[in-house]
């Protein structure tokens, strides 16, 4: 099961870039690792999503030399619009989570 749908995927990617710029495979490892293995994001969904975020103006990308002497890497970073979008998406998530918690906790008798 892969719970990452488009809106959730965007939130996860923006959040991954919140603390610092990252290159593609680093984003992939960060999202998959921080989710405790729940998210099983693959390159096939990562790069189209990053491209969509670049087109939206939320993320920008630039080629930088590899810190290990290999081929250059495309590094992604949040734009100011991306930071605003992340803030909005976090608020939407808190609202949704609160509504679901209220529904589920009531149902469970808590």
Tell me the per-residue pLDDT of 47-57, one tens digit each, with 9 for 90 and over. 999 999 999 99
The tokens of 75 are what? 């590094």
Q: 37, 45 in Cβ contact below 8 A?
A: no
What is the pLDDT, as a whole number, of residue 103? Answer: 87
Residue extents of the structural domains in the chain:
6-108
Say if residue 109's pLDDT is above 70: no
Tell me the per-residue pLDDT of 77-104, one tens digit each, with 9 for 90 and over. 999 999 999 999 999 999 988 988 888 8
What is the pLDDT, as a whole number, of residue 38? Answer: 83
Fold of 6-108: Arc Repressor Mutant, subunit A (1.10.10)
Say if residue 1's pLDDT is above 60: no
Tell me the per-residue pLDDT of 8-27, one tens digit each, with 9 for 90 and over. 889 999 999 999 999 999 99
Q: How far is CA 52 from CA 59, 72, 102, 110, in A?
A: 9, 22, 33, 41
110 pLDDT tier (thresholds 50, 70, 90): low
The tokens of 28 are what? 């992939």
């Amino acid at each position: 099961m892969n719970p990452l749908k488009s809106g959730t995927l965007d939130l996860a990617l923006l959040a991954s870039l919140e603390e610092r710029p990252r290159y593609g495979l680093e984003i992939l490892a960060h999202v998959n690792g921080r989710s405790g293995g729940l998210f099983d994001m693959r390159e096939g969904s990562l790069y189209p999503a990053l491209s969509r975020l670049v087109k939206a103006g939320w993320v920008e990308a630039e080629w930088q030399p590899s810190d290990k002497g290999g081929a250059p890497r495309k590094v992604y970073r949040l734009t100011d619009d991306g930071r605003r979008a992340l803030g909005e998406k976090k608020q939407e998530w808190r609202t949704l989570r609160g509504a679901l918690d209220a529904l589920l906790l009531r149902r469970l008798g808590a």
